[in-house]
Amino acid sequence: SSRGRTAQQPETEQGCVRVKAAYYTDRLTTEDTFIYGDMPDPKIGPMQVLIRVKATAINRKDLFRREGAGGGGSPPFPFVDGLEVAGLVEAVGPEVTDRRVGQRVVATLPYGGYAELAAVNRAGTIPLPESLSFEEGASIPIVFLTSWYGLVKMARIEAGETVLVQSGGSGVGMAGIQIAKYFRTMVITTAGSDEKAARAREMGADLAINYQKQDFLPEVMRVTGGKGVEVVLESVGGDVLTKSIQALAPLGRLVTVGNSSRSSVAPDLNLVRRKNAIYTGFSLGGQMYYGGVMLELAKIIDLCGQGKMRTVVDRVFPLKEASEAHRYVAERRNFGKVVLRP
C-alpha cells in the first residue's frame, strides 16, 4: 500500500494499490469525458514528494486542456488533470531533506492533481499554515500567482492608482481585487450579476459594475473624470480587451493574463501607442519555466495565513463529480474557486 510508504521502502507487488482518480482517455469537448476509476500509484523520484491529496482546485486551463485548447502538446493518456493541490506528505524521495511525512503542504504541478495521490517536485511545494484549510490552500496558487505577477511584477501598481480588474467573480479577479487593495489602490471591477458585484465589493472593490446591465467603459470614464485607469488586469479578451485599452489613462499599463472568451479579436495596438501605454502579456506556465514562482507563492501563502488576504472557495465537489464541477465552472456559476475533494 502507498499509505505510509517512504521512498526508502521498496514497493512490492503485494503492496501496490491503485488510487482513485478522475481522468480521461482522449480530448473531448463534453464534461462527461471524465472517468472516475483506478489508476496506478504515482512513482516519485529522488527530489520528489508524494502527496496524499486532500483538495485540488479547478482552473479554466483544465477546461481548455480537456477540450484540446490548452496548448503544451498532447498529454499522456489516460490523463489526470489538475494544476494545484493541498494535502499531506505521504513519502519523500531520498534526496529531499526539508519535507517530512505527515507535513501539510500546498503544491503546483503540471498535471495529476485530480487524484488521491500526486507526485510533485519538492521545489513545487510550500508548507501550508494551520490557519488555512486544505480547500483554501488548494485554491490559492494559480489564481493568486497570476494576479500577483500581473499586478505587482508586470504592472508594478503603486498606492493611490486606480486599477480595473476584469471579471471580479473569477478566481483571478477575486485574487486581483485583494492584491490591488493590499497595495492601497482604488479598485474598479466587473461582474456578471448583481450578486457577484455585491460579493466583489465585499472583497474590497470600490466599484463593481454588472456588465450584463451596464457598459463598464463609460462608467469607468465617469468615475475617473474622463482620465481612465492607470492599470488594467484583463483575462477575458475580445470586446472586453478592446474596451479595456480604451479605459486606459495616458501612460497606463494593461496586463492580459488570459482569454476566457476565446475571442480572436486582436488588440488595438495603435490606440496603445497613441496613449503611450504599456500592453503586456503574462503566462504563469512560462514564468514557472523561468523560475522564481515559489518564492512569490510563499509570500502569498504567508499573507493569506495571516488573514491579510483570503481566498474564496465557492463550492467543494467530491472528486467523483469532476464532470459536474467542470460544468459548473464552464457555466460561470462560481464566485471564486471550485474545489474537488478526493
What are the cell numbers at 185? 489602490
Q: What is the mean pLDDT of residues 18-23?
A: 92
**What pLDDT is attached to residue 73?**
59
Integer CA distances (angstroms), 203 to 78, 114, 171, 230, 312, in order: 39, 29, 12, 21, 9
Q: Read off the pLDDT of residues 170-198 as tens digits, 9 standing for 90 and up.
A: 999 999 999 999 999 999 999 999 999 99
For 271, counting Cβ atoms within 10 Å of its Cβ (0-12 exposed, 13-18 middle, 19+ buried), the class is middle
More confident residue, 266 or 50: 50
The full 3-state SS of 143-199, as one line of letters, equals: HHHHHHHHHHHHCCCCCCCEEEECCCCCHHHHHHHHHHHHCCCEEEEEECCHHHHHH
Calpha distance 213→210 (Å, rounded): 6
**What pLDDT is attached to residue 254?**
98
**Has residue 8 got a pLDDT over 60?**
no
The full 3-state SS of 3-50, as one line of letters, equals: CCCCCCCCCCCCCCCEEEEEEECCCCCCHHHCEEEEEECCCCCCCEEE
Most confident of 1-5, 9-13, 142-146: 142-146
Q: Read off the pLDDT of residues 127-152 as tens digits, 9 standing for 90 and up.
A: 999 999 999 999 999 999 999 999 99
Q: What is the mean pLDDT of the chain?
A: 92
- pLDDT band (50, 70, 90) for residue 3: very low
For 272, the enclosing helix (H) or strand (E) is helix 269-274
Q: Read off the pLDDT of residues 252-296 as tens digits, 9 standing for 90 and up.
A: 999 999 999 989 889 999 999 999 999 999 999 999 989 899 999
